[in-house]
Amino acid sequence: MTITNTYNRDLPATDNVAGTVLSLKNIVKTFGKFVALDNVSFDLKHGEVHALLGENGAGKSTLMNVVCGLYTADSGTILHYDKPILIKSPNDAHNLGVGMVHQHYKLVKPFTALENIQLENGTGPYKASLDRLNAKAVEVSERIGFTVGLHTPVGQLSISEQQRVEILKVLTADAKIIILDEPTAVLTDSESDNLFTAMRSLAASGCSVVFVTHKLREALTFADRITVMRNGITVDTVLPKNMDANVLANLIVGESVVESPKRSKVVTTPKIMIDRLSMADINGVQVISDLSFNVSSGEIYGIAGVGGNGQNELVSILSGLLRADVGTIELDGYGNIEAAKPIELRNYGVACIHSDRASHGLANDLNVDENFAISGVLAGEFGKLVVQRRRARAAAAQAIQDFDVRGVRSQGQKAGLLSGGNAQKLVIAREFSRLPKIVVAHSPCRGLDVRASSAVHEHLLAARDRGGAVILISEDLDEVMLMSDRIGVMSRGSIIAEFEVPADRNKIGKAMAGNA
Amino acid sequence: MSKRNQALVICGGLGIGLLVSAVTLMFVGISAPDLLNEFIFSIFTSSRSINAVLALAAPLTIVGLSAAIGFKARFWNIGIEGQVIFGAIGATLIATYDVGPEQFRIYLMASMAMLFGMAWMILPLFLSVKLRVNEIISTLLLNYVAFNFLLHLLYGPWKDPETFFPNSKIYEKSERLNNVMGLEINVSVVIALVFVVLMTWLLSLSRFGYILKFVYANSKMAKSIGIKVVLMVSIAALISGALSGLAGFTISAGIDSRLTQGFFIGYGFLGILIGFLARNNPILVVIFALMMAILMVAGQSLQVFYQIPFAMIQLIQAIIVICVAASEFFIQHRINIIK
Amino acid sequence: MDFLVNWISIVPQFAVPFALATLGLIICEKSGVLNLGAEGFMLMGAMAGVGATILTGGPYFGLLIAAIAAGFLSLIFAFLVIVMRVNQVISGLTMVFLAQGLTTLVSTQMEWTNKSFVGIGGLNFGLLADIPIIGRFIFGHDIIVYSTILIFAATVYIFDQTEIGLRIKAVGENPEAADSAGVSVLYHRFLAVVVGCMLVGLAGGYLSVVVSKIWVDGMSGGRGWITIALVIFARWRFWTAMLGAVLFGCVEALIPRVAAIGLQVPQYFVLMLPYLATLAVMIWASLGKNSSGAPAALGKAFVREERS
């Protein structure tokens, strides 16, 4: 793998070390019957940048939540510079100098950045505290090369700016142990570089940094040491310079699951043509701006781009939940479907997998078979007035088998109890059993482990090979590059560049960062 | 948590509620044996008490159903009282102007009651669906408007021409709900049971009910799959209004035999509380309606024999709801003791 | 002209209960707790205020007790919704039911109903009150009216310029963020609920002790519900709430005067006026395309997530 970026590795990596800042031994954490952490051990050395690597569900975030006091471990010891300590609450963690930048930012949107910092770190008389934190935030920003407006409501800032506010919260509290949870999920490659350069300089000045990630490449590039976790256990701690990417991948998954690109064999005429869509949101901001692209039958069109560039809105328009202000969506044989309602789109053969399973995919409190059968019930397939429940249950049972949805212990089981991967398979079972001709998949593998992701990809490929047109929108550039027959880059509400496959990752990365 | 354990927890809450209520009553001066007598023995032994309980339980059941179907669509119908009022007004309209042939008049009254109740729901429904005006407040405000309209009618055009009291002229025999042939039970009880069966069918067996479950569980997902959420909520809300209107009819035609000033008082809250306690299950609605009816009949005799104001019963009802609601906490959450 | 002057000079007295109650509700809801029990807390305050005044002969003391009594009642409400996480709509409605029963019961047992007493009179500003047109409007009122303005100012200051105001707002907008920052969601919600309900109780006390100088069952007459609508109208902003309160003070002050000027409106339709006005206000408030101004976490119970 060639990785070219501007990450500054010249600052000394400290591996002969002043001491072990934090040492976790035999940490156990269970939630009911589920064992999230099974005798996990982890240590962090002074001045290092340490990657905690593993796929979704491995327990990385859980471990870090124990360190920052949001969860209490059931058993195990924690040492701080070799002194045993207890972390029972966020305040304890605070006092220890632990600061965590969460994956889902904990910011109060109507407050300014300064007010958010005050909420986290304020002490003493209010006005004096505000002034003090203001000065400190400015000083820290300059030190690490950040800029962020301290007096605008945080809700109006971009995602990477919001992340900077989170980091300021941590640094103005004089955190010495900084934890970043999946920090680059919503950043472009160059923004990631900037972030890690800043982290490197922090480490050089005496802090210790842990970053949690599922991205192999990131760990290899930016970390001094990598600890791999899998299914709630620590597998190994390794040095990146000795590591091969494939060996590392093996450690993460425990087996070889390698996905390789399977390009389409037959591409025919354009099936769906999106032409010059534009849409403004409630506040008048153009979220979709003159967006156009075509997808043909038997083709997967991947849309790459960092989140927040209109992807959510595009999916809502394509699935009939929102109307565009201007523009058309031509579906071969049906004309302009831009104004069609969700039920009409389903009848035309459009299937949608939303990024937020819990919101749009499943009703967690209802049964697994109800969640499957509802589309049939809606269409009247199980009776017009009364529902023939036995038939519906049988159809659901068949589909659960066909689509390998596991973890269904009884027919009455609630959908919310399924694991992420199986829940997604259930959604796919429901949507794909109608053999859709158009598939819109938005981040379909978010939160899924490698095996489940691979299964989802199989289904997308099958839909394509049946002659369907698949639109895959994902923030994971690796996924887009693996799956797509053609790639479009989305930025600021429009497709700004298209690439034929095989594509140059750097060019795509540049395009993604391009319109800055 | 299994259904059986859930039921146990609710019963536990109920038990505590009843206990606290009993203690409160003893505080006010009623001895324990007297309590048992009033609340348990006399109710079940005197046939007049049983009839009073059933007659009261019928409209309570219907308003409970009304609240329940509203809640099943996440539509908070707090306007039950207003719809009850208009239902009775609709029925009285038919009765006062002697509309239609005598043998059908009672059916006409019932239908008009349901229609009027439904009509009083249209404005809040429209406001909620089109303008996102919170239905809790809008239905509630309309209660007060309905009440004032009722007073206007009773002190004005519909004042009893013979007694000059502010209630309507008494219904003729064909316009009343009488007892079931041979038995001492009012027809309104039968009406209530019929609708319990209808609602059970609607919610558990019909396609409408199946789809409604998704509207309740996750309306975003429902919309995504193509369910016409607005239509479903509207139908549920209108049915709710119609049921409340029907309840108004059963009160005025079954108990009072005329339209009076205060017939509707308390049914709104009680309907909501019954619907909530029953967790929107029609069969449980009957059980809690009976319970509330027993409390109210017992309360009436407490008032007569022990001079305890009727407000005491309201207090007891509130205490019971609070205890049951609090006990739900133990169903939703597990307490882990952190060592 | 006289009509107008008479009407306007009595508006503040009618506006104060709405103002205090709306302020209290906004404080409560800023922390994320939806409070539909306003009518109940108002009743509680009204009854307790009368009871205390009759027992001690001191109307100011009566007002204090009104606030405290409502505060105590609100502890039940707060416990239900914050600790037990019971549905906030049902809990609020049950509080109203509870208060109706409780107040009727206590006032009947203690024989406070329909007993009139000396309340609080207007402050004497001497000649200032004789200024034509606006004299009585500005200078003719009791001390509570003027205190209300002070209370509003104090609340605005607390929410904009102090740590505790920041924390209460945080808890109402994003309790997860506040919790993560070490701010106690439980404590701040309890605080906001109790203080808010005390103000609602004070509003009720003002109604019975100062305005009517009597207690009857169901004294608050639906004003609690109107207050809930006023909060929405005010978009949870304090001074806008004051405006709404004055508006409704005008409407209420108008009712007895409609007959006086000979307008031929049937009596009961006039009585519908406040409720129809409230409905109109709610519709108007919903027509704006922008966000409602409600705290983001309003109505949702907070659970520190154990498994995301």
CA–CA separation, B11 vs B14, rounded Å? 5
Question: Does A2 map to a domain?
Answer: no
Is residue A218 located within the same domain as residue A246? yes
Q: Which positions in chain B touch C278 (Cβ < 8 Å)?
A: 137, 141
What would the mean pLDDT of A196-200 be, rounded to a whole number? Answer: 88
* C182/A120 Cβ within 8 A: yes
- Angstrom distances, CA of residue A79 to CA of A20, A87, A205, C4: 9, 10, 22, 77
Which chain C residues contact residue B28 at CB under 8 A? 109
Give the type of residue at B5: N
Query: B215: which 2 tokens?
Result: 């509207």
The three-class DSSP label of residue A290 is: strand
Which residues of chain B are within 8 Å of residue C289 when distances are taken between CB atoms? none
Determine contact: B25 vs chain C, CB below 8 A. no
Q: How near does any CA of chain C get to the CA of B177, in Å? A: 30
Amino acid at A120: E
Under 8 Å between Cβ of C242 and C20: no
Kindly report the nearest CA distance between residue B321 and chain C, in angstroms.
Answer: 7
Cα–Cα distances in Å, from A22 out to A50, A60, A62, A235, C284?
Answer: 12, 16, 16, 19, 58
Q: Does A357 touch chain C (CB under 8 A)?
A: no
Q: Once rounded to an integer, what is the mean pLDDT over residues A181-199?
A: 84
Does residue A13 surpass a pLDDT of 50? no
- The alpha-carbon gap from B246 to the nearest alpha carbon of chain C, in Å, equals 23
Q: With bands split at pLDDT 50, 70 and 90, how would you rate the model's confidence at A2?
A: very low
Q: How far apart are the first and last CA of chain C?
A: 66
Which of chain B's residues have a Cβ under 8 Å away from the Cβ of A385? 206-207
Cα–Cα distance for residue pair B242/A443, rounded to 1 Å:
45
The single-letter code of the amino acid at C220 is S
Q: Is the pLDDT of residue A182 over 50?
A: yes
* Tens-place pLDDT, residues B261-289: 888 988 999 999 999 989 899 999 999 99
Interchain contact A33–C (C-beta under 8 A): no
**Which three-class secondary structure state does DSSP give residue A31?**
strand
For chain A, the chains sharing at least 3 beta-carbon pairs closer than 8 angstroms are B, C
Integer angstrom CA distances of residue A338 from A280, A347, A351, A434:
15, 14, 15, 21
Q: Give the DSSP H or E segment for B135.
A: helix B135-155
Place of tokens 């983001």: C296
Mean pLDDT of the B78-103 span = 91
Percent of chain B topping pLDDT 70: 94
* CB spacing of A374 vs B210 below 8 angstroms: yes
Q: Is the peptide bond before A502 cis (omega within 30 degrees of 0)?
A: yes
Mean pLDDT of chain A: 86
What's residue B247's pLDDT? 96
pLDDT in tens, A22-57: 999 999 998 877 888 999 999 999 999 999 998 877
DSSP secondary structure letter of residue A11: S
Q: Is C126 on the interface with B (CB under 8 A)?
A: no
Chain A residues within 8 A of C296 when measuring between CB atoms = 109
Q: What pLDDT was estimated at residue B38?
A: 65
Put simply, the answer to whether A119 touches C179 (Cβ < 8 Å) is no
Cβ proximity of B294 and B283 under 8 Å: no
Say which residues have a Cβ less than 8 Å from residue B37's Cβ, sequence separation at least 6: none
Residue type, A291: L
Of the three residues A397, A416, A434, the one that is the final residue of a domain is A434
Number of Cβ atoms within 10 Å of the Cβ of C118: 10
- Residue C36 CA to residue C39 CA, distance in Å, equals 8
Separation of CA C113 from chain center = 22
3-state secondary structure of C97: helix
* pLDDT attached to residue B335: 53
Nearest CA in chain C to A110: C173
Q: Answer whether B224 sits within 8 Å of A360, measured CB to CB.
A: yes
Of A206, A224, A256, the position where a domain reaches its end is A256
Domains of chain C: 2-114+128-287 (1.10.3470)
**pTM for the full predicted model:** 0.87
For A510, the domain range is 257-349+436-516
Phi, psi of A427 (to 5 degrees): -60, -45
The DSSP bridge partners found for residue A49 are A209
- What is the pLDDT, as a whole number, of residue A15? 46
pLDDT class of A1 with cuts at 50, 70, 90: very low
- Are A366 and A226 found together in one domain? no
The reply to whether A343 and A450 lie within a common domain is yes
- Interface check for C265 against chain B (CB to CB < 8 A): the answer is no
User: How many whole angstroms separate alpha carbon A231 and alpha carbon A54?
Assistant: 9
Q: How far is A414 from chain B, CA to nearest CA, in Å?
A: 12
How do strand A438-442 and strand A350-353 relate by DSSP bridges? Answer: parallel
Pair (A442, A515) in one structural domain: yes
The per-residue pLDDT for B39 is 66
Q: What percent of chain A has pLDDT over 90?
A: 41
What distances in angstroms separate CA A72 from CA A37, A39, B334, one per listed residue? 12, 14, 16
- Given A371, A400, A434, the domain boundary residue is A434
CA angle, residues C202, C208, C210, in degrees to nearest 5: 85
Residue A139 φ then ψ, to 5°: -65, -45
Spatial separation of the C-alpha atoms in residues A272 and A470, rounded to whole Å: 10
Interface test with B, best of C22, C219, C275, C291 (most B CBs within 10 A): C275
What is the dihedral sign for C-alpha A287, A293, A297, A300? Answer: negative
- The whole-angstrom distance between B307's CA and the closest CA on chain C is 10
Report the candidate in A174, A207, A227, A210 with the shortest Cα–Cα distance to residue A18.
A207
Cβ-based neighbour number of residue A417 at 10 Å: 13
Distances (CA, A) of C268 to A364, B144, B154, B169, B264: 49, 11, 11, 20, 18
* C255 CB within 8 Å of a chain B CB: no
* Below-70 pLDDT ranges, chain C: 124, 126, 129, 133, 259-263, 289-291, 305-308
The residues, ordered by sequence, that sit 6+ positions from C294 with a Cβ below 8 Å of its Cβ are C29, C232, C235, C236
Among A406-415, A507-516, B258-267, the minimum mean pLDDT is found in A507-516
Residue of B nearest to C87 (CA): B325
CATH number at residue A491: 3.40.50.300
Q: Which helix (H) or strand (E) holds A164?
A: helix A159-171
CA distance to partner chain C, nearest, from residue A238 (Å): 29
Residue A5, in any domain of the structure: no
Does A467 map to a domain? yes
Q: Does A156 touch chain C (CB under 8 A)?
A: no
- Between CA A472 and CA A311 the distance in angstroms is 11
The residues with which A160 forms a beta bridge, in sequence order, are: none
Report the amino acid identity of residue A101: V
- If asked whether residues A150 and A245 sit together in one domain, one would say no
User: How confident is the model over A122-160, as pLDDT tens digits?
Assistant: 888 999 999 999 999 998 888 777 788 899 999 888 888
For residue B216, give the nearest of C90, A370, A319 by alpha carbon: A370
CB contact under 8 A, C222 and B144: yes
Cβ contacts of C232 within 8 Å, gap of 6 or more: B134, B137, C282, C285, C292, C294
Q: Do A118 and C178 touch (CB under 8 A)?
A: no
Residues in chain C within 8 Å Cβ distance of A90? 179-182
Considering its fold, how many domains does chain A have in total? 4
Q: Is B155 on the interface with C (CB under 8 A)?
A: yes
- % chain B with pLDDT above 90: 50
Pick from A344, A378, A386: CB nearest B227: A378
> What mean pLDDT is predicted for residues A308-325?
91
- Dist. CA A473–CA A307, nearest whole Å: 10
Angle, CA of A468, A472 and A474, to the nearest 5°: 170
C50-to-A166, C41, C53, C61, C197 alpha-carbon distances in Å: 53, 14, 5, 10, 18
Interface test with B, best of C39, C41, C82, C90 (most B CBs within 10 A): C90
Q: With cut-offs at 50, 70 and 90, classify the pLDDT of residue A188.
A: confident
Q: Where are the beta strands (DSSP E) in A297-443?
A: 299-304, 326-331, 335-336, 350-353, 438-442
Residues of chain C found within 8 Å of residue A71, distances taken between Cβ atoms: 306
Q: Which residues pair with A439 in a beta bridge?
A: A351, A470
Residues A279/A464, Cβ–Cβ less than 8 Å:
no
Strand-pairing partners, residue A296, are A270
- Contact residues, chain A, for B228 at CB < 8 Å: 343
CB contact under 8 A, B224 and A380: no
Cβ-Cβ contacts under 8 Å, A370 against chain B: 210, 213-214
Q: Do A86 and A190 sit in the same domain of this protein?
A: yes
A448 and A326 co-located in one domain: yes
Q: What amino acid is encoded at C303 in this protein?
A: V
For residue C289, the model assigns a pLDDT of 60
Residue A257 is predicted with a pLDDT of 64
Evaluate whether A368 touches A426 at the Cβ level (below 8 Å). yes
Put simply, whether A189 touches C (Cβ < 8 Å) is no
Neighbours of chain B (3+ CB pairs under 8 A): A, C
Annotate B67-134 with DSSP letters as a single string: HHHHHHTT-----HHHHHHHHHHHHHHHHHTT-S-HHHHHHHHHHHHHHHHHHHHHHHHHHHHHH---
**CA A114/CA B85 separation, integer angstroms:** 55
pLDDT at C195: 97
Residues A308 and A443 in one domain: yes
- The ranges assigned to domains in chain B are 57-282
Asked if residue B251 has pLDDT above 90, the reply is yes
pLDDT band of residue B337 (cuts 50, 70, 90) is very low
Per the DSSP assignment, residues forming a β-bridge with A234 are A229
Average pLDDT, chain B: 87
pLDDT band of A165, cuts 50, 70, 90: very high
Count the neighbouring beta carbons within 10 Å of the beta carbon of residue A379. Answer: 13
Instruction: Inspect the interface and report whether the beta carbons of C174 and A31 lie closer than 8 Å.
Output: no
**How would you class A397 by CB atoms within 10 Å of its CB: exposed for 0-12, middle for 13-18, buried for 19 or more?**
middle
Residue of B nearest to C305 (CA): B333
Q: Are the C-beta atoms of A297 and A267 separated by less than 8 Å?
A: yes
In the predicted model, is pLDDT for residue B94 greater than 60?
yes
How far is it, in rounded angstroms, from Cα B100 to Cα B109? 10
Query: Nearest-CA residue of chain B relative to A354?
Result: B224
Q: Which of A132, A167, A131 is nearest to A148 (CA)?
A: A167
CA distance A296 to chain B (A): 24
- What residues contact C279, with CB distance under 8 A and at least 6 apart? B138, B141, B142, C229
A-to-C residue pairs, Cβ atoms closer than 8 angstroms: 61
Interchain CB contacts (distance < 8 Å): B and C: 123
**Locus of tokens 């009104």:** C66
- Pairing mode of beta strands A49-53, A225-230: parallel
